[in-house]
Chain A
Amino acid sequence: NAGVTQTPKFQVLKTGQSMTLQCAQDMNHNSMYWYRQDPGMGLRLIYYSASEGTTDKGEVPNGYNVSRLNKREFSLRLESAAPSQTSVYFCASSARPRQGGQPQHFGDGTRLSIL
């Protein structure tokens, strides 16, 4: 099993361009998450989807949109990229959230640079 797969692995954008980061999981997990990782700030939650058909804002949602396309896929879209969105983006998934102790499984990350 691949687990959580993110595409692309690297991307460079110009300010104002749009882009969609793709994430897919093959573990039949209900919940999926998008984080950004910045130096000295750890991982911050952008958006999450507790189950298929639902999405909710996390700590830093401004400038982003998400789509839970189906149970497997959860995409993150930057409509008009800004240099402040330069970061490493991680997608994660977990089993049904009400089962205590369920860990999140992470993808390899997408390194995004915005010039």
Chain B
Amino acid sequence: AQRVTQPEKLLSVFKGAPVELKCNYSYSGSPELFWYVQYSRQRLQLLLRHISRESIKGFTADLNKGETSFHLKKPFAQEEDSAMYYCALRDSSYKLIFGSGTRLLVRP
């Protein structure tokens, strides 16, 4: 079955600390993965996608097919990174399957 798992509901770190938001997926084909972010009182928006191999706002995510993971990382967290983060998988019908989300809280 196709599934995206984000094991942490809440991740709390101090400003300047490294951050890793975990995402594991289950998919039989070649996966296409995304991270979406929802800041307080803002709409859900794309953060990054694995095919672009880009760094956005200091965040990176590497697709590890062996471990079926797509963890989101940032070396030094900032307070403005506090938000809800969703990992998503695009299936063969081009629909998105979302994980349950991780709330990141960056404390001063």
User: Is there contact, CB below 8 Å, between B43 and A103?
Assistant: no
Chain B residues packing against A (C-beta within 8 Å) = 4, 6, 9, 32, 34, 43-46, 49, 51-52, 86, 93-101
User: Is there contact, CB below 8 Å, between A103 and B94?
Assistant: no
Q: A48-B95, A107-B43 are in contact. List 17 more A-B contacts (CB 8 A).
A: A31-B94, A41-B100, A42-B99, A42-B100, A44-B98, A92-B44, A98-B94, A100-B51, A101-B49, A101-B51, A101-B52, A103-B34, A103-B46, A103-B49, A104-B46, A106-B45, A108-B43
Give the chain B neighbours of A104 by CB distance below 8 A. 46, 96
Give the chain A neighbours of B98 by CB distance below 8 A. 35, 42-44
Q: Interface size (A, Cβ < 8 Å)?
A: 27
A31, A33, A56, A101: the one within 8 Å of B32 (CB): A101
